[in-house]
Structure 1
Amino acid sequence: MFTKVLVAEDYEIANQGIVKVLNEKIGIHNVHQAKYCDDAYLKFRKEYNDNAPFELLITDLSFRKDYKIQTRTSGIDLIKDIRKVDPDIKIIVYSQEDRPDRINMLFDKYSINGYVCKGQHAIKQLIQCVEGVFQGDEVYPPELTSNLQASDMVHLDDLDMILLEELANGFTKKEIRLKLIAQNITPNGESTIDKRVSKLFDNFKAKNTTHLVAIVKDLGLL
């Protein structure tokens, strides 16, 4: 089982609740706490630089604003920066967010290992999630996996992300195609790009390019 865990959660009651579960239900006693993402990152870097890295990060996604200026204002910011330094650390998100696309994005884009939705069964699910992640599994929230068809989940590959980023930057499909050709990125056919963009519109139920960009930014994809 994990022996050293970092918990990033700004609500003290929730923070203490997670620590109690780790201590009493799972038997993990070396647990460090942080209420803000910058603080969590500093604690992570200190232990990493001292060759005593954390094995598991449990973090919320949303954090209240502090009177101090924060470099990292969300759990996603924290995850991104920690992943750059230590790609092997296991990460569990513990959040009220229950949108399937956003949860799936965290697994696909940021390589999180587990997700727990805060709620009535959160304690039981957190225990199962920590145990599953320790065994090497990807652990999705059961309330989603039991009721959600696989076809409802949006999976984006590298080309999809390039198209979304270029559309967000204001480029037309023709201009994007020329950029793909110049960078030797394939596939780059006109038909392929048209179909991919149309599929993105369908997947996110977007009315136009501006709407599509707004949706994916809200989901944290860009």
Structure 2
Amino acid sequence: MFTKVLVAEDYEIANQGIIKILNDKIGIHNIQEAKYCDDAYLKFRKAYNDKEAFELLITDLSFREDHKIQTRASGIDLIKDIRSVQPDIKVIVYSQENRPDKINMLFEKLDINGYVCKGQHAIKELIACVNGVYQNNTVRPPELTNNTAINTMIHLDDLDMMLLEELSQGFTKKEIRTKLKKQKISPNSESAIDKRVSKLFDDFKAKNTTHLVAIVKDLGLL
């Protein structure tokens, strides 16, 4: 079992709850906690530099703003920075976020090892998640494994991501079409781009381009 764990959670009750589960239910006792991402990163770096690295990071996604200026404002920032130093550290996200698309993004883009949604089954799911991740399994929550979630998930290919990136930079569909043609990326016809963009509006239930960009940024896709 993991012997050294870092917990990043800004709510004291949730923080202590995670530690109690790790202590009492799983038998992990070498645990350090942090209420801010920057503090968590500093503890991580100290342990790493002292050659006493953490084996597992359990982090929330959102953290309350404070009077202190934070370099890392979210769990996503924390995961990226820690993984850039120690790529093999195991990561479990423990959050209230239950949108399948955002959870799926964390697995696909950040390669997290497990996810637990805060709620009435969180204790049982956290225990199972830690055990599963320790056994080198990828532990996905019920929000991703039930049929309803699978059917409602939005799947984006490279062209979709390129369109979203260009739209976020303020380019019009006509300008995007010209750019795609110059780069010899297909499909690049006016009708094909119109259909793709319209589908993105429908998938994300966006009212306009500004709304669409705001949604995908909130989901962490851009």
TM-score by length of 1: 0.89
- Residue matched to 1:154: 154
Task: Go from structure 1 to structure 2 and tell me whether the alpha carbon gap of 1:179 and 1:88 turns closer, same or farther (over 3 Å shift).
Answer: farther
* Alignment gaps of 5+ in structure 2: none
Please tell me the residue identity of whatever aligns with 2:37.
Answer: C
Unaligned runs of 5+ in 1: none
- My pick for the range that moved more, 82-91 or 34-43, is 82-91
CA distance in 2 between partners of 1:216 and 1:201 (Å): 11
Aligned twin of 2:53 = 53
Match of 1:9 in 2: 9
The offset of 1:34, in angstroms, is 0.6
Percent identity reads: 77
Give 1:66's aligned residue: 66
CA contact (8 A) 2:58 2:94 kept: yes
CA distance in 2, matches of 1:155, 1:45: 36
Cα 1:202/1:30, change in 2 over 3 Å? same
Distance 1:100 1:155 in 2: 11
The answer to whether the 8 A contact 2:3-2:29 is kept is yes
Q: Map of 1:11-26 to 2, 5 A cutoff?
A: 11-26=11-26
Query: Which residue number corresponds to residue 136 of structure 2?
Result: 136
Structure 1 residue matching 2:53: 3-state secondary structure: coil
- Given that 1:104 and 1:155 are in contact with CA atoms closer than 8 Å, whether structure 2 keeps it comes out as no
In the alignment, what sits opposite 1:27? 27
Native 8 Å contact 1:108 1:155 kept in 2: no
Rate the CA distance shift 1:70–1:192 in 2: closer, same or farther, 3 A. Answer: same
SS in 2 for 1:148: helix
The aligned runs of 1:37-52 (5 Å cut-off) are: 37-52=37-52
User: Structure 2 vs 1, CA of residues 187 and 16 (structure 1 numbering), >3 Å: closer, same or farther?
Assistant: same
Shift of the 86–179 alpha-carbon distance from structure 1 to 2, 3 Å rule, reads farther
Question: Do the aligned partners of residues 179 and 3 (structure 1) sit closer, same or farther apart at CA in structure 2, a change above 3 Å counting?
Answer: farther
Structure 1: how far apart are the matches of 2:221 and 2:72?
17
State the Cα deviation string for residues 174-220 of structure 1 (Å, max 9, x = none). 322443455x4744522554443233222212232122112112222
Q: Which residue type is aligned with residue 189 of structure 1?
A: N
2:196 matches 1:189: no
Q: Secondary structure at the match of 2:148?
A: coil
What residue is the counterpart of 1:97 in the other structure? 97
Cα gap change, 1:13/1:169 in structure 2, threshold over 3 Å: closer, same or farther?
same
The answer (yes or no) to whether the contact 2:100–2:143 under 8 Å persists in 1 is no
Query: Residue type matched to 2:218 in 1?
Result: D
1:60 partner amino acid: D
- Contact 2:116/2:141, CA 8 A, preserved across alignment: yes
Q: Matches of 2:158 and 2:30 in 1, distance apart?
A: 38
Bigger mean CA deviation after superposition, 147-156 or 67-76? 147-156
Check 1:155–1:51 CA distance in 2 against 1; reply closer, same or farther (3 A cut): farther
**Aligned 8 A contact 2:98 2:143 in 1:** no
Deviation at 1:72?
1.0
Q: Which letter does structure 2 place at the counterpart of 1:90? A: K
Q: Secondary structure at the match of 2:69?
A: coil
